[in-house]
Amino acid sequence: MGAVASLGRTLDDAFLARIPHEDRLAADLVTGDLLWETSVSLPGDGEPPRVRADLTLEWTTWSQSAWRSWVLDEPIEEFPEINFEVVLRLQRLAARPPVAQVLDQLGDRQPPGAEPFERVGVTVEEDFDTGQCALEVAFEGVYHLTDPEDAPRRGLFGRGAELGDRPGPDPGAPSGPDWAAAGGRAPARPGPGVPPGAPSFPPQPAPSDPVRAPLAGDSPLAGHLEGLGRWLASVLVHLADMDIGFLPPSGD
């Protein structure tokens, strides 16, 4: 979720339009994998937009287990990883797209990451009823969380270094908000003058506290995600400027 939050911020900072209702968080009930998907386009590009990018982050079950072990300072055989997929889509095309021309326009532009992304497919779609065509170019990549700066900063209920020092829930404390929702802090016993049943909590760190931040700004993963937003904005502008016939937006 820290990677999702950081990616969302960098997409907004790149002035990309988030396509409504396209943010999706899904869990595979069989495998336990988590998927987050979103789509972005250029502002004012019509509906549907001429060019868009579909992004998918995959947090597999084994990566979740490896991360949990890493948090608890247990030995792990492999470091966790996040799978990325970026699909560039040209749509509302008036004729079959010039695939070679599009690939030449992309050139060696690849999404930034710790490891090179791989182009995994080029797909052409054609609707025989409307005559509209579309072209998709897909890239896949993996980010291995091996850098110490990407290590867990809070653990499950606090910083990894403080995991053994932070107390668990107090069975004798009055009932109140969920312990986990309180930041992993046990409710304090009510002091003098506090009526029974009204628990108090220690002051919570401000949202800007780097301990509570989803990803530290200087994290290598956060840096790559920031570059991904700028890369997407640049590539979408180049694709939209190509001399290709586009049909007008819906309703025009």
Name the CA dihedral angle for 95, 118, 236, 16, rounded to a multiple of 10 degrees: 130
DSSP, collapsed to helix, strand or coil, labels residue 13 as helix
**Residue 72 banded pLDDT, cuts 50, 70, 90:** confident
Place of tokens 């065509």: 133
Q: What percent of the chain has pLDDT over 70?
A: 71
Degrees (nearest 5) of the Cα angle 227, 140, 101?
85
DSSP characters for 55-98?
EEEEE-HHHHHHHHHHHTT---SS--EEEEEEEEEEEEESS---
Q: Please check whether residue 182 lies inside any domain of the structure.
A: no
Asked if the structure places residue 251 within a domain, the reply is no
Q: Residue 198: its pLDDT value, please?
A: 52
Into how many domains does the chain fold?
1
Mean pLDDT in the chain?
A: 76
* Residue at token pair 């490891």: 115
72 in a structural domain: yes
Question: pLDDT (tens digit, 9 = 90+) per residue, 14-36?
Answer: 999 987 777 888 998 888 899 99
Averaged over 175-188, what is the pLDDT? 43
The type of residue at 154 is R
Instruction: Classify 125 as helix, strand or coil.
Output: strand
Q: Tell whether 209 is covered by a domain.
A: no
- Write the DSSP symbol of residue 182: G
In the predicted structure, residue 53 carries a pLDDT above the cut 90: yes
- Please indicate, yes or no, if residue 164 is contained in any of the structural domains: no
* Structure-token match 């999404």, residue found: 111
Instruction: Count other C-beta atoms under 10 Å from residue 29's C-beta.
Output: 7
What pLDDT score was predicted for residue 230? 87
> Tokens 């992993």 correspond to what residue?
184
Query: Using CA atoms, how far apart are residues 210 and 91, in angstroms rounded to an integer?
Result: 41
Q: Are 98 and 243 in contact (CB under 8 A)?
A: no
pLDDT of residue 195: 55
In-domain check, residue 129: yes
User: Higher-confidence residue: 66 or 220?
Assistant: 66
* pLDDT value of residue 131: 79
The parent domain of residue 27 ranges over 2-147+219-240
- Per-residue tokens: 13: 């900072």
Instruction: State the residue for tokens 């995959």.
Output: 58
pLDDT tens digits for 81-104?
Answer: 999 999 999 999 988 888 998 988
User: Cis before residue 249, ω within 30 degrees of 0?
Assistant: no
Residue 41: per-residue pLDDT: 93
Contact assessment for residue 19 and residue 52, using Cβ atoms and an 8 Å cutoff: yes
Distance, in Å, from the CA atom of 210 to the CA atom of 135, rounded to the nearest integer, reads 42
User: Would 192 be classed as within a structural domain?
Assistant: no
Query: Within a domain: residue 201?
Result: no
Q: How many CA atoms lie within 13 A of 18 on its CB side?
A: 14
27: helix, coil or strand? strand
Q: Please work out, in degrees rounded to the nearest 5, the angle formed at the alpha carbon of residue 73 by the alpha carbons of 67 and 74.
A: 80
Any idea which of 131-135, 170-174, 240-244 has the lowest mean pLDDT?
Answer: 170-174
Distance, CA of 19 to chain centre? 15
> How open is the CA angle 80-208-34, to the nearest 5 degrees?
30
Please give the model's pTM, rounded to 2 decimal places: 0.71
pLDDT digits (tens, 9 = 90+) for 153-180: 554 444 444 333 434 444 444 444 443 4
